[in-house]
């Protein structure tokens, strides 16, 4: 699928534990961390075996990590644009996963101006309409900002990201991509991006220094996938600055 072999492709086995990795306060903790082995490694695949299965569907790919999904130059450009535009002009989205169950943690920080935040743009499902949240809006603002004059700039940036990532997603997970684009024409006004291979996305969540506690996105499409584009601060080489994506109910298998 990727046309790579040897050190460029790394496959790790994980196992479902049904026991969440968290500390005494109920906040996420990474007990096992998989890092890129070096520049030669291009793709990391996390795989789990389905208990009791010995057929061709016995192995399930849970994650595909493409270390260079976008170019370094493009990543730095996006980081510079978004790290200034969004915090200064957007209102954070209040998410239940921002706190532990007792709502007593300080995972996001304590300062209003410096705490971690999550911002949502584009379309999403609304429980009151049982459909798109803009279903009754005559003039929907999919990229709503406090300063409306900056919305066109944000739209250009996020639509551009969706356009660039769609072909990468199509190559990495073609079945999931096909599932998400099968009904594209019926909801074309809700889709973002302009990719010729298809438009699988309808919304974007921008997380900035945000610590998401264990949660389940109930409105995700069955048979689809979540695509994460991680932008690191230019020159980010210190371990304390790294970003971790936690799979709370899994651990590494003890064998290769």
Please enumerate in sequence order all residues whose Cβ is within 8 A of that of 113, keeping only pairs 6 or more positions apart, or say none: none
Mean pLDDT of 175-185: 94
pLDDT band at 6; cut points 50, 70, 90:
very high
d(CA 223, CA 233): 33
d(CA 100, CA 212): 9
pLDDT band at 240; cut points 50, 70, 90:
low
- Phi, psi at residue 201, to the nearest 5°? -105, 150
d(CA 176, CA 162): 16
Packing angle of the helix pair 174-181, 151-172 (nearest 10 deg): 130
What mean pLDDT, rounded, does the chain reach?
90
Strand segments, DSSP code E, in the chain are 9-16, 43-49, 59-66, 117-122, 125-126, 131-132, 203-208, 250-252
pLDDT > 70 in the chain, percent: 97
Residue 256 has a pLDDT of 66
d(CA 92, CA 144): 11
pLDDT tens-digit readout, 41-61: 999 999 999 989 999 899 999
pLDDT band at 236; cut points 50, 70, 90:
low
Neighbours of 79 (CB within 10 A): 15
Residue 22 has a pLDDT of 86
pLDDT band at 237; cut points 50, 70, 90:
low
Helix (H, G, I), strand (E, B) or coil at 205: strand
Helix (H, G, I), strand (E, B) or coil at 152: helix
Residue 151 has a pLDDT of 96
pLDDT band at 180; cut points 50, 70, 90:
very high
pLDDT tens-digit readout, 99-157: 999 999 999 998 888 899 999 999 988 878 888 888 888 888 999 999 999 999 999 99
The residue ranking higher by pLDDT, 54 or 236, is 54
- Please tell me the least confidently modeled range out of 23-32, 90-99, 231-240: 231-240
DSSP string, 74-122: HHHHHHHHHHHHHHHH-PPPP-GGGS-TTS---TT-S-TTTS-EEEEEE
d(CA 111, CA 105): 13
């Amino acid at each position: 699928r990727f046309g790579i072999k040897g050190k460029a492709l790394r496959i790790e086995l994980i196992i479902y534990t049904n026991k969440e990795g968290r500390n005494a306060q109920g906040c996420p903790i990474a007990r096992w961390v998989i890092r890129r082995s070096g520049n030669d490694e291009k793709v990391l695949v996390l795989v789990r075996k389905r208990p009791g299965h010995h057929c061709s569907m016995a192995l399930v790919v849970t994650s595909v990590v493409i270390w260079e999904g976008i170019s370094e130059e493009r990543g730095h450009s996006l980081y510079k644009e978004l790290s200034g535009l969004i915090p200064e002009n957007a209102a954070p989205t209040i998410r239940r996963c921002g706190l532990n169950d007792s709502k007593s943690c300080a995972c996001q920080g304590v300062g209003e101006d410096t705490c971690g935040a999550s911002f949502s743009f584009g379309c999403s499902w609304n429980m009151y309409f049982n459909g798109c949240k803009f279903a009754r809006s005559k003039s929907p603002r999919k990229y709503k900002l406090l300063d409306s004059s900056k919305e066109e700039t944000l739209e250009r940036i996020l639509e551009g990201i969706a356009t660039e990532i769609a072909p990468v997603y199509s190559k990495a997970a073609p079945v999931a991509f096909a599932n998400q684009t099968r009904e594209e024409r019926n909801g074309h006004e809700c889709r973002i991006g302009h990719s010729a291979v298809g438009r699988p996305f309808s919304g974007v969540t921008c997380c900035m220094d945000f610590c998401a506690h264990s949660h389940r996105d109930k409105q995700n499409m069955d048979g689809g996938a979540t695509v994460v584009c991680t932008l690191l601060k230019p020159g980010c080489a210190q371990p304390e600055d790294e970003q971790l994506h936690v799979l709370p109910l899994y651990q590494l298998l003890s064998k290769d």
